[in-house]
Amino acid sequence: MNRKPIGVFDSGVGGLTTVRQLLRLLPNEKIVYFGDTARVPYGTKSKKTIVRFTTENVLFLLEKKVKLIVIACNTSSSLALPAIKKHFNIPMVGVIEPAVKAALRISRSGRIGVIGTRATIDSKIYENQIKQHNRKIEVFTQACPLFVPFVEEGWLDNAAIRNVAETYLSELRKKKIDTLILGCTHYPLLKKIIAQVLGKGVVLIDSGQEAALSVSKILEERNLSAPDSTKVRSAVFFVSDEPSRFQRLGRKFLKNHINNIQRVSR
């Protein structure tokens, strides 16, 4: 069991930000990644569709005999994980709960911001989970749907993205938050510009990084960690559309070359 891989999926390439954190934190683990590149984006789709896609992705990873599944996609974690979790007998880690816990730990002022896709923000999952822990915390949210195409275009730091970030974040800036959850796979690549627009004193929480920490804890608690000696740091990748765009874009998200990409039909 311990030598089995960890399964990770996302709607596309963005979940590689989480894979990067997993490989850093857990170098002994093997990773099987699925990017649903034929059906991305999920952030504009209905709950029903997202639940269906997510279920199919989980079933695909189960076929690969994984020992734990990480739902790196914030949109899937928000809309599908709560509905499907009970139907599967395997540990599943989404990106919402770990980010919420980190925000509650870090925020001093009790004023927390959340940004994500339209579907994630409309689901209100972040507010609901934060309020379940502490009703007094004030949560301010903002959907930033244009951030994803800007990141995929590689526009991480130019006048156009600055303009978009200033427009999206201007209301949040007025709310005097001290913590912001980056509730989407792509947003860690915009950390620099988001931090500049919000100004000093706002801690940015990378939900993929928090999820990786949570995975590490669960593996330990359940005695599922890979043997220490392996140090494989290996990952194989499956995508549902032609792999070349995934390979090209993926380098930016993973900060490393990607080989081992196979296309599967959907």
Say what angle helices 16-25 and 243-254 make with each other, to 10 degrees: 50
**By CB under 6 A, is residue 17 in contact with ligand DGL?**
no
Print the binding letters for residues 142-171 with ligand DGL: x by CB under 6 A, - otherwise. Answer: ------x-----------------------
- Could you tell me the smallest distance in angstroms from the CB atom of residue 13 to ligand DGL? 9
Which residues of 133-210 form beta strands (DSSP E)?
Answer: 138-143, 179-183, 203-206
CA distance 257 to 100: 31
The secondary structure of residue 136, as a DSSP letter, is T
Q: Identify whether 73 is a catalytic site residue.
A: yes
Q: Which residue is nearest to ligand DGL (CB)?
A: 43
Print the binding letters for residues 100-139 with ligand DGL: x by CB under 6 A, - otherwise. Answer: -----------------x--x-------------------
Q: Identify whether 144 is a catalytic site residue.
A: no
Task: Map tokens 């860690």 to a residue.
Answer: 188
Q: At 188, list the tokens.
A: 């860690």
CA distance 8 to 18: 9
107 vs 123, which CB is nearer to ligand DGL? 123
- Could you tell me the smallest distance in angstroms from the CB atom of residue 200 to ligand DGL? 27
Say what angle helices 96-106 and 207-221 make with each other, to 10 degrees: 100
**By CB under 6 A, is residue 18 in contact with ligand DGL?**
no
- Residue ranges in contact with ligand DGL by CB under 6 A: 10-12, 14, 40-43, 73-75, 117, 120, 148, 184-186
The residues assigned a catalytic role are 73, 184
